[in-house]
Amino acid sequence: MGYKCQRGLIAVKSVEGRSILITGGGSGIGLDAARYFADRGAKVTVCGRRADRISAAQNLIGERCVGVVADVTNADDRARLLDAAVTHGGGLDALVSSAGNMYRGLITEVEEQELIDIFHSNVIGGMMLTGLATPHLEKTSGSVIFIGSVHNRRAFPGASPYAATKAALEGLTRVLAAELGSKSVRVNCIVPGAVFTEINQRAGLFDDKDALARLNSMSGLHALGRIGKTSEIAEAMDYLISAEWTTGAILEVDGGLGLGLTSG
């Protein structure tokens, strides 16, 4: 692989020519990550359940991107998705497990099937896809990146189902890093804070016109005084894909929200 130079001080592997599979690539963090890597010369495969979103993503990103309509909770879809990524990229260098749902509800209101569904979407699908992808990642000394959440670090009432899935991903990251290290496959987890994405909009985080302005000005909660951009999460992915001696890391990319600061 090629290298890029940062200010003449350090050589860092470039993603140019690498094959990267991003689940949940039809919107939000997954979509912007796909754009980020394609712009830097990577061969990107994205998936999602909605055909219109995946078609739009492929058209937006261009020939370096292949879109696959697939549900990571479905075994046949996972196999088909992985085949498409390996064919498009000539192998597989990185799996970014970004697909997932957010469910909010008080513990007295949560239905058992809803819990099963969110764990299947947020944890089990990505876990099974990782197992399927491992033989390909072993050939390239590749990496897996799970997307966690600050919900596992701070207590937000009504978010217990979502927080539980993100806590599971952190444990999974550490165990798989130990398990796959001998195969030269690295496994890491990014923990974003509040990021302006469609999933947060659907959850009601930005329902009224003043909500985004309030979040951006909550310096008492965010040490850097604003919520994040999806492109900033993509930059963290870039580092983890190229960092050959980093595995089992839980990387907080949250503007300091996880510090537990209080407003005022």
Read off the pLDDT of residues 66-91 as tens digits, 9 standing for 90 and up. Answer: 999 999 999 999 999 999 999 999 99
Sign of CA dihedral 119, 125, 128, 134: negative
CB distance 14 to 8 below 8 Å = no
CB atoms within 10 A of CB 77: 18
- 168 vs 60: CA distance, rounded Å: 33
CB distance 41 to 63 below 8 Å = no
- Give the pLDDT of residue 105: 81
Q: Mean pLDDT of successive 10-residue segments in the chain (264 residues)? A: 47 83 92 94 96 92 95 97 98 95 85 93 97 98 94 77 94 98 98 74 59 57 80 94 96 84 61
DSSP 122: I
CB distance 246 to 237 below 8 Å = no
211 Cβ neighbours under 8 A, 6+ residues apart: 205
Active site residues: 162
Three-state DSSP class for residue 13: strand
Domains of the chain, earliest start first: 3-193+228-253 (3.40.50.720)
End-to-end CA distance of the chain: 49
CB distance 103 to 162 below 8 Å = yes
Specify whether the backbone of 17 is left (phi greater than 0), alpha (psi in -120 to 50) or beta: left
- 187 vs 13: CA distance, rounded Å: 17
Q: How many CA atoms lie within 13 A of 21 on its CB side?
A: 37
pTM (two decimals)? 0.88
Torsions phi, psi for 187 (to 5 deg): -130, 120
CB distance 119 to 73 below 8 Å = no
In the numeric block, the tokens 């993509």 are attached to 234
CB distance 263 to 218 below 8 Å = yes
Three-state DSSP class for residue 237: helix
Cα 158 to Cα 107, 244, 257: the distances in Å are 7, 38, 18
- Give the pLDDT of residue 201: 59
- 128 vs 137: CA distance, rounded Å: 14
CB distance 96 to 30 below 8 Å = yes
Read off the pLDDT of residues 125-136 as tens digits, 9 standing for 90 and up. Answer: 999 999 999 999
- Give the pLDDT of residue 1: 45
In the numeric block, the tokens 């009601």 are attached to 204
Compute the radius of gyration of the chain from its Cα atoms: 18
